[in-house]
């Protein structure tokens, strides 16, 4: 069976290709696999396939064939094959989207077959949802129409809603039963409150799939689908899935009142209300659609009852309904095809024009109305018989079913009358006669209804095994038969015929009455619900997604404050006394600076002031490091702080002096409160955390570890040895920050402000290939002149390009003179890191200052004089060197970042300590130098270039022209 289902899916995959190659006749070919499957199933009759799928979740690909499955599978393949055959003439040759349609249709058939054969609840659910998805795609076949899209979405949402609720129920059921196997659950049904809840949830899924109230709304809408889809999915196959599931589980759970009563009551109610509705529809397909809803209610009631008689009647009616309803749909399709309308007020005299469809419809409608000798009659007799015993429930149900049958009779008659009767006042329409291939399916299906009614005996034998899964009742089951003798059921049938005829004759007033009594339409409820969900979503989203960064930051900070404060208040983690407020009272001074600086920064209106005040907090922190006895950290912090100031100032050139955004006082206060609260919380947690420490920190072993390395500077050893892995990572961070900076500065004025620039195609895409001499422009004439005309060296060559008022001779001289010592200092810091404060990072920043001074004194051309290599090269070399040191360690030393150590005396430098970490540090050095150079090039020289270009109006015009 696994192979059978899989094979059908393969056919579905191939179907679009087949249809594309040979056109609509391909459907004839495509019906063959379905008929073959039918034959195989009828020959096999019984079986079990089991393949493990996900052992952790206990999922299996389990397929099982028994009486009920066989009935359903036969319907799926038999009716499916006939409808596919019908498609070959229903569609015009070369109709758009036909290949796609064929694929979806066959895939649906495969899924449906899988659904009815599945013996594993998850597998069943898989196919269940697949049928939903393919139904969605089939209803939306003509997705260009709004109506089709809406109906498709509605069917999808309603049935998936039910499906998901059902999934929850299935999960709960299987959790109690500890298995997913359907047959196991049915033979050893679990009990308990969870099971009852699970069953109600499962029922929601089943009812929504079978369009039982209150989920009926989607089925009539789905009639926008092509008629073969209506006939197959929405009459014979998919809508029966819910009934099938109820029928499957009822043998085990019919004694659970919540399950039985809910299903029976909703089923009966649906049967009556939908039947009543069918009496006033004027579109033939809608008459049939409401009729289907009504019959599905009937079926649900029968299979949920839990007696052998009702179950037998239920499955018989299931078969009967599939046969007569698909016939009627297919005939409707023929009528639609032949006349171009389905409006029963405009159709007239078709009895003579379309004799074969007429006689097929008569058989089908008679079966639907429950007239002998058709299968519909047999099933309905059996149904009435099942409720003729004593008991209030039975009587009430019987009354509802009889009332529903009266309505069924009436709308059956109405259908026949509407489709075929001659009507005064309606214009006869031109009719295209259908060919034999078009007629085959309805004829076969209607005849099958007749034959099955006549040979009720063998049918009874085939279906009884299912009925036997229910417990034996107090009286013998009569079985299906054409003639039960005179009794209550027969009397009820006569009553149905009489009352139904009456209703049909009074069709005009009935339709008017129906329209007047109509309650809220399901469509409106659905639309209203969807509208409410959309509106709520819009409101909530509008409320949460304000698009304002300050509010997002506020939310994050407030959440953090609330959560941490909550945790603080929840426990009582307060230490008895705060032992330790400061290490030295002198710490209060820098701390005070930091606090005051931060507070003032909040109030500053000028950008530059803010930057300086923020700098104060940094210098204060550096002072704290000094007081803690950490000169390395302090040195680095001072350097970084200063460099940041320089960078800020470079950027601030391009920004307004004052903050432009005015904050309302309320927001200013709110921000301050949040800021202070965050600070307080962090302090409190800090005090608490330090107070809670009972074990010595890992740092106590650092002196010894470092000594083992023959190093003398713990900080340096930490950075380049012990935690060099972190350093490597942070180096990458710096490198990438440089890359980002460059990409931003050099693209903002190149890219999309203007139309695409043909020149940009040829310009280098590597931003670091950009030279500081300017963007696409040649260096100014003074520059080349400076090179050519002045044999004697000026202090700074690049400064020749500066305007005279920007030049300062003193500055140039100083810059020229201090540059070499600065570089030397930086090298010293690099190599001496092992024993004294320094290290690659600080050293590189010092070198960076050399470049800063050259740039400030001599302008952007001087920068390229000072550093002839590109930052990309430096950064790349640095990163690669650090990584290679690490990898070399891996290759030779056994672990990343370990290599040998070499110590010795070198003239001038004294005792030198060389280890692999020096290479590592050198990498850091190169990288950080590259970073500073990159910053100067982009934020310094790059912005210079922008400023100059904007100052020269002629060039700007040229740019816009391009």
Partner 1 sequence: MKVEYLIPLPVVLPLLAAGVKFIIGPRGNRLQGLISVVVTIVTLLTEIALLFAADDRDGPLVLTLGGFSPGVGITMVADRLSAMMLVITSTVVLCILIYSIGQGAVDQGASGPLTVYHPTFLILVAGVSDAFLAGDLFNMFVGFEILLVASYVLITMGGTGPRIRSGATYVIVGMLSSLSFLVSVAMIYAATGTVNMAQLAVRIALLPPDVALVLHVMLITAFAVKAAVFPLSMWLPDSYPTAPAPVTAAFAGLLTKVGVYAIIRAQTLLFPGDRLGLLLMVGAFLTMIVGILGAIVQADLRRMLSFTLVSHIGYMIFGVALGTVDGMSGAIFYAFHHITVQATLFLVTGLIERRGGSTNLGRLGGLARVSPLIGVVYLVPALNLAGIPPMSGFLGKLGLLQAGAIMGTPAAYVLLGAAIATSLLTLYAVSRAWGAAFWRRPRGPVAEPGTVVSSPGPEEHAARSPELRTDTTGLGESSVTAARFPRLMLGSTIALVVMSLAFTPFAGPLIAYADRAATESLRQDAYIHAVFPGIGR
Interacting residues with partner 1 between 884 and 903 (CB under 8 A): 884, 886-887, 889-890, 893-898
- Any contact of residue 258 with partner 1 (CB under 8 A)? no
| Beta bridge partner(s), residue 912 | 904
Interface with partner 1 (CB under 8 A), residue from 187, 282, 395, 559: 559
For 901, the token pair is: 């150590």
Residue closer to partner 1, measured from CB, 818 or 877? 877
Instruction: For residue 717, say if its preceding peptide bond is cis, omega within 30 degrees of 0.
Output: no
Residue closer to partner 1, measured from CB, 509 or 756? 756
Residue closer to partner 1, measured from CB, 442 or 870? 870
Residue closer to partner 1, measured from CB, 468 or 750? 750
Residues 709-748 that bind partner 1 (CB under 8 A): 721-726, 728-730, 732-733, 735-737, 739-740, 742-744, 746-748
Q: How many CA atoms lie within 13 A of 878 on its CB side?
A: 31
CA separation for the pair 166, 244 (Å, rounded): 14
Binding segment for partner 1 (CB under 8 A), chosen from 249-257, 375-383, 556-564, 836-844, is: 556-564
- Any contact of residue 27 with partner 1 (CB under 8 A)? no
CA separation for the pair 634, 640 (Å, rounded): 10
CA separation for the pair 481, 473 (Å, rounded): 19
Closest among 78, 29, 83 to 330, alpha carbons compared: 83
Residue 546 CB, nearest approach to partner 1 (Å): 8
Interface with partner 1 (CB under 8 A), residue from 193, 476, 752, 954: 752
b/e per residue 74-100 (b: at least 16 CB within 10 A): bbbbbbbbbbbbbbbbbbeeeeeebbb
- Any contact of residue 429 with partner 1 (CB under 8 A)? no
Cβ proximity of 27 and 102 under 8 Å: yes
Binding segment for partner 1 (CB under 8 A), chosen from 21-29, 85-93, 269-277, 693-701, is: 693-701
User: How would you class 601 by CB atoms within 10 Å of its CB: exposed for 0-12, middle for 13-18, buried for 19 or more?
Assistant: middle
> Torsions phi, psi of 66, nearest 5?
-135, -165
Residue closer to partner 1, measured from CB, 222 or 366? 222
Helix or strand (DSSP H, E) at 913: strand 910-915
- Which residues are within 8 A (CB) of 420 and not within 5 positions of it... i.e. 6 or more apart? 347, 349, 350, 351, 354, 358, 361
Binding segment for partner 1 (CB under 8 A), chosen from 300-308, 333-341, 483-491, 749-757, is: 749-757
DSSP letter for each residue of 115-165: HHHB-BHHHHHHHHHHHHHHHHHHHGGGTTSHHHHHHHHHHHHHHHHHHHH
Residue 961 CB, nearest approach to partner 1 (Å): 15
User: How would you class 799 by CB atoms within 10 Å of its CB: exposed for 0-12, middle for 13-18, buried for 19 or more?
Assistant: buried
For 772, the token pair is: 């500081």
Instruction: For residue 225, say if its preceding peptide bond is cis, omega within 30 degrees of 0.
Output: no
Interface with partner 1 (CB under 8 A), residue from 567, 657, 707, 909: 567
Residue 161 CB, nearest approach to partner 1 (Å): 6
For 810, the token pair is: 């003193």
Interface with partner 1 (CB under 8 A), residue from 188, 393, 395, 690: 690
- Any contact of residue 879 with partner 1 (CB under 8 A)? yes
Residue closer to partner 1, measured from CB, 491 or 689? 689
Residues 80-139 that bind partner 1 (CB under 8 A): 96, 100, 122, 125-126, 129-130, 133, 136
The Cβ of residue 485 has, within 10 Å, a number of other Cβ atoms equal to: 8
CA separation for the pair 603, 596 (Å, rounded): 11
Residue 652 CB, nearest approach to partner 1 (Å): 17
Residue closer to partner 1, measured from CB, 550 or 780? 550
- Any contact of residue 804 with partner 1 (CB under 8 A)? no
Residue closer to partner 1, measured from CB, 689 or 909? 689
What character string, x for contact with partner 1 (CB under 8 A) and - otherwise, covers 431-470?
A: ----------------------------------------
Residue 172 CB, nearest approach to partner 1 (Å): 5
Residue closer to partner 1, measured from CB, 349 or 615? 615
Residue 613 CB, nearest approach to partner 1 (Å): 19
Residue closer to partner 1, measured from CB, 747 or 817? 747
CA separation for the pair 17, 34 (Å, rounded): 18
Residue closer to partner 1, measured from CB, 6 or 518? 6
- Any contact of residue 571 with partner 1 (CB under 8 A)? yes
CA separation for the pair 787, 781 (Å, rounded): 10
- Any contact of residue 919 with partner 1 (CB under 8 A)? no
User: How would you class 269 by CB atoms within 10 Å of its CB: exposed for 0-12, middle for 13-18, buried for 19 or more?
Assistant: middle
Interface with partner 1 (CB under 8 A), residue from 697, 910, 953, 954: 697
Cβ proximity of 959 and 755 under 8 Å: no
CA separation for the pair 948, 735 (Å, rounded): 28
Residues 622-661 that bind partner 1 (CB under 8 A): none
Q: How many CA atoms lie within 13 A of 637 on its CB side?
A: 17
Residue closer to partner 1, measured from CB, 673 or 760? 760
Residue 544 CB, nearest approach to partner 1 (Å): 6
For 406, the token pair is: 């009266």
Residues 284-323 that bind partner 1 (CB under 8 A): none
Interface with partner 1 (CB under 8 A), residue from 873, 906, 947, 962: 873
- Any contact of residue 771 with partner 1 (CB under 8 A)? no
Residue 372 CB, nearest approach to partner 1 (Å): 44
Residue closer to partner 1, measured from CB, 154 or 408? 154
The alpha carbon dihedral of 911, 915, 917, 918 has a sign of positive
- Any contact of residue 876 with partner 1 (CB under 8 A)? yes
Interface with partner 1 (CB under 8 A), residue from 557, 626, 814, 825: 557
Residues 809-848 that bind partner 1 (CB under 8 A): none
Residues 145-174 that bind partner 1 (CB under 8 A): 146, 148-149, 152-153, 156-157, 160-161, 164-165, 167-168, 171-172, 174
Radius of gyration from C-alpha coordinates of the chain: 43
Residues 582-621 that bind partner 1 (CB under 8 A): none
Number of helices (H) and strands (E) in the chain: give both, helices first.
40, 4
H helix intervals, 506-630: 507-517, 522-544, 549-570, 588-603, 607-627
Residue closer to partner 1, measured from CB, 93 or 563? 563
CA separation for the pair 24, 481 (Å, rounded): 42
Closest among 549, 591, 568, 390 to 475, alpha carbons compared: 390
For 97, the token pair is: 């989207």
Residue closer to partner 1, measured from CB, 564 or 601? 564
Residue 149 CB, nearest approach to partner 1 (Å): 4
- Which residues are within 8 A (CB) of 97 and not within 5 positions of it... i.e. 6 or more apart? 141, 142
Residues 495-554 that bind partner 1 (CB under 8 A): 533-534, 536-538, 540-541, 544-547, 549, 551-553
Residue 910 CB, nearest approach to partner 1 (Å): 27
Binding segment for partner 1 (CB under 8 A), chosen from 247-255, 425-433, 457-465, 555-563, is: 555-563
Binding segment for partner 1 (CB under 8 A), chosen from 437-445, 577-585, 626-634, 763-771, is: 763-771
The count of chain residues that interact with partner 1, using the rule CB under 8 A, is: 141
The Cβ of residue 777 has, within 10 Å, a number of other Cβ atoms equal to: 12
Closest among 469, 500, 318 to 406, alpha carbons compared: 500
Residues 29-88 that bind partner 1 (CB under 8 A): 52-57, 59
Cβ proximity of 428 and 349 under 8 Å: yes
């Amino acid at each position: 069976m696994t192979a059978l289902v899989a094979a059908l899916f393969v056919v579905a995959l191939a179907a679009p290709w087949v249809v594309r190659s040979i056109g609509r006749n391909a459907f004839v070919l495509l019906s063959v696999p379905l008929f073959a499957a039918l034959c195989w199933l009828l020959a096999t009759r019984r079986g079990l396939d089991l393949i493990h799928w996900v052992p952790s979740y206990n999922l299996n690909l389990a397929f099982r064939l028994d009486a009920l499955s066989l009935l359903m599978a036969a319907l799926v393949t038999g009716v499916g094959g006939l409808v596919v055959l019908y498609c070959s003439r229903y569609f015009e040759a070369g109709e758009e989207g036909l290949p796609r349609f064929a694929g979806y249709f066959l895939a649906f058939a495969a899924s449906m077959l899988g659904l009815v054969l599945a013996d594993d609840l998850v597998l069943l659910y898989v196919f269940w949802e697949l049928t939903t998805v393919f139904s969605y795609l089939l209803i939306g076949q003509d997705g260009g129409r709004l109506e089709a899209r809406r109906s498709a979405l509605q069917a999808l949402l309603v049935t998936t809603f039910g499906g998901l609720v059902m999934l929850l129920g299935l999960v709960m059921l299987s959790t109690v039963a500890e298995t997913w196997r359907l047959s196991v659950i049915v033979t050893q049904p679990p009990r308990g409150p969870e099971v009852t809840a699970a069953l109600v949830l499962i029922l929601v899924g089943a009812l929504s799939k079978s369009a039982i109230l209150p989920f009926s709304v989607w089925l009539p809408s789905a009639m926008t689908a092509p008629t073969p889809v209506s006939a197959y999915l929405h009459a014979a196959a998919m809508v029966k899935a819910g009934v099938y599931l109820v029928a499957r589980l009822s043998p085990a759970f019919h004694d659970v009142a919540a399950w039985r009563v809910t299903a029976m009551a909703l089923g009966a109610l649906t049967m009556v209300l939908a039947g009543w509705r069918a009496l006033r529809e004027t579109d033939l397909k809608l008459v049939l659609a409401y009729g289907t809803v009504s019959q599905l209610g009937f079926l649900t009631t029968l299979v949920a009852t839990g007696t052998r008689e009702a179950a037998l009647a239920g499955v018989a009616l299931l078969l009967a309904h599939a046969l007569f309803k698909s016939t009627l749909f297919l005939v409707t399709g023929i009528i639609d095809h032949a006349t171009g309308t389905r409006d029963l007020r405009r159709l007239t005299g078709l009895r003579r024009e379309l004799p074969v469809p007429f006689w097929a419809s008569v058989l089908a409608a008679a079966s639907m109305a429950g007239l002998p000798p058709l299968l519909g009659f047999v099933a309905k007799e059996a149904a009435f018989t099942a409720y003729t015993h004593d008991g209030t429930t039975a009587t009430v149900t019987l009354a509802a079913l009889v009332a529903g049958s009266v309505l069924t009779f009436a709308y059956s008659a109405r259908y026949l009358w509407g489709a075929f009767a001659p009507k005064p006042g309606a214009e006869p329409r031109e009719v295209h006669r259908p060919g034999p291939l078009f007629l085959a399916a309805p004829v076969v299906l209607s005849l099958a209804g007749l034959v099955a009614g006549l040979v009720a005996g063998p049918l009874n034998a085939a279906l009884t095994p299912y009925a036997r899964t229910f417990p034996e009742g107090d009286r013998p089951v009569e079985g299906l038969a054409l003639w039960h003798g005179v009794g209550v059921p027969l009397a009820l049938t006569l009553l149905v015929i009489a009352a139904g005829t009456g209703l049909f004759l009074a069709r005009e007033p009935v339709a008017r009455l129906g329209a007047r009594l109509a309650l809220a339409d399901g469509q409106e409820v659905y639309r209203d619900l969807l509208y409410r969900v959309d509106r709520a979503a819009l409101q909530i989203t509008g409320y949460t997604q304000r698009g304002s960064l300050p509010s997002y930051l506020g939310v994050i900070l407030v959440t953090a404050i609330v959560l941490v404060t909550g945790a603080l208040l929840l426990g009582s983690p307060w230490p008895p006394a705060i032992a330790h407020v400061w290490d030295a009272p002198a710490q209060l001074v820098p701390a005070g600076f930091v606090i005051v600086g931060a507070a003032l920064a909040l109030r500053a209106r000028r950008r530059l002031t803010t930057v300086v005040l923020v700098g104060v907090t940094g210098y204060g922190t550096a002072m704290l490091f000094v007081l803690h006895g950490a000169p390395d950290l302090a040195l680095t912090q001072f350097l970084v702080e200063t460099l940041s100031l320089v960078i800020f100032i470079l950027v601030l050139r391009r920004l307004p002096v004052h903050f432009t955004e005015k904050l309302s006082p309320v927001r200013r206060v709110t921000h301050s409160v949040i800021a202070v609260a965050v600070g307080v919380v962090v302090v409190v947690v800090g005090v608490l955390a330090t107070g809670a420490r009972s074990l010595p920190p890992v740092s106590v072993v650092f002196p010894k570890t470092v000594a083992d390395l023959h190093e003398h500077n713990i900080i340096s050893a930490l950075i380049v040895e012990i935690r060099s892995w972190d350093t490597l990572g942070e180096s990458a961070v710096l490198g990438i920050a440089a890359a980002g900076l460059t990409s931003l500065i050099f693209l903002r004025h190149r890219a999309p402000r203007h139309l695409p620039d043909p020149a940009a195609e040829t310009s280098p895409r590597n931003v670091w290939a950009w030279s500081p001499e300017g963007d696409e422009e040649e260096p100014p004439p003074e520059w080349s002149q400076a090179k050519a005309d002045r044999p004697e060296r000026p202090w700074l060559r690049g400064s020749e390009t500066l305007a005279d008022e920007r030049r300062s001779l003193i500055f140039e001289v100083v810059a020229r003179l201090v540059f070499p010592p600065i570089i030397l200092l930086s090298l010293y810091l690099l190599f001496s890191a092992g024993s004294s404060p320094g290290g690659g990072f600080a050293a590189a920043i010092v070198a960076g200052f050399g470049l800063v001074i050259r740039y400030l004194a001599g302008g952007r051309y001087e920068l390229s004089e000072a550093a002839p290599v590109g930052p990309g090269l430096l950064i790349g070399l640095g990163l690669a060197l650090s990584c290679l040191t690490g990898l070399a360690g891996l290759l030779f030393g056994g672990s990343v970042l370990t290599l040998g150590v070499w110590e010795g005396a070198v003239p001038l430098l004294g005792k030198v300590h060389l280890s692999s970490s020096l290479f590592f540090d050198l990498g850091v050095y190169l990288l950080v130098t590259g970073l500073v150079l990159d910053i100067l090039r982009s934020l310094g020289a790059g912005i210079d270039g922008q400023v100059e270009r904007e100052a020269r109006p002629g060039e700007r015009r040229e740019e816009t022209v391009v």
